[in-house]
Amino acid sequence: MFKILVVEDNEELNRSVCSFLNRSGYEATGCLCAEDAYDAMYSNVFDLIVSDVMMPEIDGFEFAKTVRSLNEDIPILFMTALDDFASKQRGYRVGIDDYMVKPIDLDELFLRIGALLRRSKIASSRRLSVGDFSMDIDEHTAYWRGEEIALTLREFNLLYKLLSYPKRTFTRTQLMDEFWDADTQASTRTVDVYMTKLRAKLSECDSFSIVTVHGLGYKAVIK
Amino acid sequence: MSRDKRIRRVLKALNNFLIFFLLVGFIVSCCTMLFVEVMSRTMGLELTSENIAAAAKITMLNVILLTLLLTLCDIIRRRLTVDRPVKTILNAGRRLTGGDFTVRIDTKKMSALDDGFEEIAECFNKMAEELSHTETLRSDFVANVSHELKTPLAVMQNYASLLASPDLEEEKRVEYARGISDASRRLAALITNILRLTKLENQQITPSFEEYDLSEQLCECLLGFEDAWEKKGLEIETDIESDVSIRSDAEMMSLVWNNLFSNAIKFTESGGTVSLTLKTEGEYAVVSVRDTGCGISREVGERMFDKFYQGDGSRATQGNGLGLALVKRVIDITGSEISVESELGKGTTFTVRTRRS
């Protein structure tokens, strides 16, 4: 069972989030301040941290920074009333993985925690599997029912990105920014070419499909 | 009246008296000297020092008397032409400060006096008029806000007390709980919007203008509604010219797009179409959001940018009437333009024009 640490200074909210997570199949521990959280982390190993930002004494930014300096991999999710871009930016800069604005929807929190844990599992096992399809991150190889599918590095990276965030649509520019050089002359339509190639190479694979979303971008849908 | 003020008044009267005294003394001395000189030369009169001393005493008395008279006249004139209008204006000012925005100064009374007072009175009246406008706006806003805030609260309270009743069927329990969570979600959205609008109106947010890729922003914003249009079964059409950049505040502009998209999706029945186009026209980037929804009537169109105005009361549960007010505010701050074309029953097109960088 995954262990989740909830750091939130409002007692009621803390309690409700913890009991929701406990009922959803996680083991949640609530702490009312960062100090308590440090103590809890000293004696326990957690898989994920949900933290408030505006807390007395040590705030969320400082807390996340300290945690990140000790543990590079643990996913941190901020839940906060601060909805301006500057705060989000500051959060991501200290190394958080996700950001939710209060009042949060508990069902959405559940989905996001699931996705974060899934990605952290992929990252630690260095292997991504969808049905009979799997990708080995260190060797940059993809397998469909045990047979290797030859992918170029860029194709591999694109597919890996889409499959790491299933059902989320990425725009062409977002993909370009990540996998092409900043000074590339290629137009965003180049992404279309790559997607066509990927679809052709994966024509036999029926564990997932790459979907075009109304000319806006691409996403992977797991079947 | 305080002691200080009274002393100052007396000192001022004394001061005036002294000035008048010197003035009258000067004039009378000059006149007398001239008169005596001419008289003595033409008539060959010899003036003895006794004669002069006697005349001087009488003249001195005369001067003092005249000065007193003048000072009195001056005080009365002052009372009538300065103190009285000043007092009227002061009183009006005090009433205005006290919150009485109906107070006006009678400019007719002032017109008999110096020009200055009439102008001051007119200016004051204009100020009071403006203040009363903002006051009505503010009280309307407060009334609207409290209504909008209290409705979902009342809903939550009712459902909560229903939930407290024993032997509730499972089905009802779920329904009531959903009612509470829907109402609280609405309340949360409303509060977020009120805070945003207040921030924008107080100009606490000064726009930070930077060049950015509008095409990409539109794609990303529209993708935020992917779940919504899939759930509703809407067709999405896009024609977005790529690599169009504008110089504006990206975060504020995203408020505009999000509100326009969410309205388009909200007011379009399932099976309908929402389309987004981005084109360049000379110096401008033109974004159109078109839907095949219920359309907007002329009366609604005139008021739709007002705060808390909702065209269709029956849809009140789906929004809070602040979206377009926010949009308008951002459009004004960023110096863009927005226009609407609509036909009842056929659909609506919102068009935003922004200067390209």
- Domains delineated in chain B: 3-100 (no CATH), 136-201 (1.10.287.130), 210-355 (3.30.565.10)
Q: What are phi and psi of B48, to 5 degrees?
A: -90, 160
Please tell me if residue A146 touches chain B, with a CB cutoff of 8 Å: no
What is the pairing mode between strands A3-7 and A27-31? parallel
pLDDT (average), residues A82-92: 87
Residue A79 pLDDT exceeds 80: yes
Interface residue ranges in chain B relative to chain A, Cβ cutoff 8 Å: 184-185, 188, 192, 213, 215-216, 219-220, 222-223, 226, 236-240, 242-243, 251
DSSP-derived secondary structure letter, B45: P
Q: Which of A75, A94, A124 is the last residue of a domain?
A: A124
Distance from the B202 Cα atom to the nearest Cα atom in chain A, whole angstroms: 16
Lowest mean pLDDT among A63-77, B286-300, B311-325: B311-325
Same domain, A173 and A201: yes
B220: chain A residues, CB-CB within 8 Å: 171, 174
In DSSP terms, B281 is beta-bridged to B284
Detail the DSSP E strand segments found in chain B. Answer: 210-213, 235-240, 245-248, 273-281, 284-291, 337-343, 347-355
The torsion region of residue B203 among left (phi > 0), alpha (psi -120 to 50) and beta comes to left
Residue type, B9: R
Say whether pLDDT at B120 is over 60: yes
pLDDT-derived band at B203 (thresholds 50, 70, 90) equals low
| Average pLDDT of chain B, as a whole number | 84
> Does residue A73 sit in the same domain as residue A144?
no
**Are residues A216 and B184, on separate chains, in Cβ contact within 8 Å?**
no
Cβ–Cβ below 8 Å for A216 and B219: yes
d(CA B201, CA B214): 25
Q: Is the domain of A11 the same as that of A110?
A: yes
ipTM score? 0.74
The per-residue pLDDT of chain A, averaged, comes to 90
CA distance A111 to chain B (A): 14
Tokens describing residue B42: 């033409």
Alpha helix stretches (DSSP H) within B44-114? 49-78, 84-97, 107-111
User: A18 and A111 share a domain?
Assistant: yes
How many Å lie between the alpha carbon of A104 and the closest alpha carbon of chain B?
A: 9
Instruction: Please report residues of A whose CB lies closer than 8 A to that of B240.
Output: 215-216
We report the CATH number of the domain holding residue A10 as 3.40.50.2300
Q: What angle do CA A52, A1, A166 make, to 5 degrees?
A: 70
Pair (A32, A66) in one structural domain: yes
Q: Write out chain B residues lying below 8 Å of A215, CB-based.
A: 238-240
Q: Are residues A40 and A131 in the same domain?
A: no
Residues A69 and A152 in one domain: no
The domain of A57 spans 3-124
User: Long-range contacts: B138-141, Cβ < 8 Å, 24+?
Assistant: B141/B307, B141/B308
Q: Which runs of E-coded beta strand occur in chain A?
A: 3-7, 27-31, 48-51, 76-80, 98-101, 127-130, 133-136, 141-144, 147-149, 170-171, 208-213, 217-222
Instruction: Say what the pLDDT of residue B335 is.
Output: 87
Given an 8 Å threshold on Cβ–Cβ distance, is A105 in contact with B220? no
Number of domains in chain A: 2
Amino acid making up residue A183: D
Query: Is the model's pLDDT at A73 over the cut of 90?
Result: no
Of A83, A187, A217, the CB nearest to B223: A217
Quick one: closest CA in A to B199, which residue?
A84
Q: Pick from A105, A173, A215: which is nearest to B216 by CB?
A: A173
pLDDT at A109 over 80: yes
User: Measured between alpha carbons, how far is residue A42 from residues A48, A75, A138 in Å?
Assistant: 14, 17, 32
Asked if pLDDT for residue B208 goes beyond 80, the answer is no
Report the relative pairing of strands B235-240 and B273-281 from DSSP bridges.
parallel
**Which pLDDT tens digit goes with each residue over A1-46?**
889 999 998 888 999 999 999 999 999 999 999 999 999 999 889 9
Eight-class DSSP state of B311? S
Cβ neighbours of B335 (radius 10 Å): 11
Structure-token pair, residue A94: 């200290």
Q: What's the pLDDT score for residue B312?
A: 63
- B237 to chain A: nearest residue by CA? A214
Q: How many CB atoms lie within 10 A of CB B227?
A: 10
Q: Are residues A111 and A202 in the same domain?
A: no
CB contact under 8 A, A215 and B213: no
**Cross-chain residue pair A171–B238, CB shorter than 8 Å:** no
A90/A200 same-domain check:
no
Helix (H) or strand (E) holding B280: strand B273-281
Residue B317: pLDDT above 60?
A: no
Q: What is residue A159's predicted lDDT score, i.e. its pLDDT?
A: 93
Residue B320 has pLDDT above 90, yes or no: no
Mutation test of the interface with chain A: which of B190, B223, B251, choosing the one with the most A Cβ atoms within 10 A?
B223
Tell me what the mean pLDDT of segment B306-331 comes to: 73
The residue among B116 and B176 whose pLDDT is bigger is: B176
Give the residue-averaged pLDDT of B69-77. Answer: 89
Q: Which of A71, A96, A124 is the last residue of a domain?
A: A124
For residues B192-204, give the mean pLDDT.
Answer: 76
Say what the pLDDT of residue B313 is. Answer: 55
DSSP letter for each residue of B73-88: HHHHHHIIIIIHHHHH
Q: pLDDT per residue over B28-70, tens digit each? A: 888 888 888 888 888 777 767 777 788 888 888 888 888 889 8
Percent over 90 (pLDDT), chain A: 52
- Which residue from A194, A196, A193, A176 is spatially nearest to A185, judged by alpha carbons? A176
pLDDT in tens, A159-169: 999 998 888 89
Mean pLDDT value of segment B348-355: 93
Find the CB nearest B242 among A83, A103, A188: A188
**DSSP 8-state class, residue B356:** B
What pLDDT shows up at residue A8?
Answer: 92
pLDDT value for A194: 92
Which has more confidence, B114 or B293? Answer: B293
pLDDT, one tens digit per residue, over A157-210 is 999 999 988 888 999 888 988 888 877 777 778 899 999 999 999 988 888 999
**Which tokens go with B199?**
């921030």
Tell me whether A185 touches chain B (CB under 8 Å).
no
Which CATH number characterizes residue A200's domain?
Answer: 1.10.10.10
- Which residue on chain B is closest to A105 by alpha carbon? B185
Regarding beta strands A170-171 and A48-51, do their DSSP bridges make them parallel or antiparallel, or are they unpaired?
Answer: unpaired
To test the contact with chain A by mutation, choose from B210, B216, B219 the residue with the greatest count of A C-beta atoms within 10 A, namely B219
Cα A177 from Cα B264, distance rounded (Å): 30
Q: Amino acid identity, residue A173?
A: T
Asked if B226's CB is within 8 angstroms of A213's CB, the reply is yes
Structure tokens at B273: 């179409």
pLDDT (0 to 100) of residue B106: 83
Distance of CA B26 to the CA centre of its chain: 57
Q: How far apart are CA B316 and CA B312, in angstroms?
A: 7
pLDDT of residue B274: 94
| Residue that terminates a domain, selected from A65, A100, A124 | A124
Task: Report the C-alpha gap between B56 and B46 in whole angstroms.
Answer: 16
Res B300: pLDDT: 79
Residue A107 has pLDDT above 60, yes or no: yes
Cross-chain residue pair B219–A217, CB shorter than 8 Å:
yes
- Cβ–Cβ contact A182 with B under 8 A: no
The pLDDT tens digits of the residues spanning B125-170 come to 888 888 887 777 677 777 777 777 887 888 888 888 888 888 888 8
In chain B, what percentage of residues exceed pLDDT 90?
18
Contact list, A169 vs chain B (CB under 8 Å): 223, 226
DSSP assignment, residue B233? T
DSSP H helix total and E strand total for chain A: 8, 12
Contacts of B227 (CB under 8 A, 6+ apart): none
**pLDDT tens column, B224-282:** 888 889 889 999 999 998 889 999 888 889 889 999 999 899 889 889 999 999 999 98
If you average pLDDT over residues A128-133, what whole number do you get?
Answer: 88
For residues A114 and A139, state if they share a domain.
Answer: no
For B266, half-sphere exposure in the C-beta direction (CA atoms, 13 angstrom radius) is 16
- In terms of Cα–Cα distance, which of B156, B350, B189 is closest to B264? B350
Same domain, A131 and A116: no
Shortest alpha-carbon distance between residue A36 and chain B (Å): 30
Q: Do B238 and A216 touch (CB under 8 A)?
A: yes
Q: Are residues A74 and A147 in the same domain?
A: no
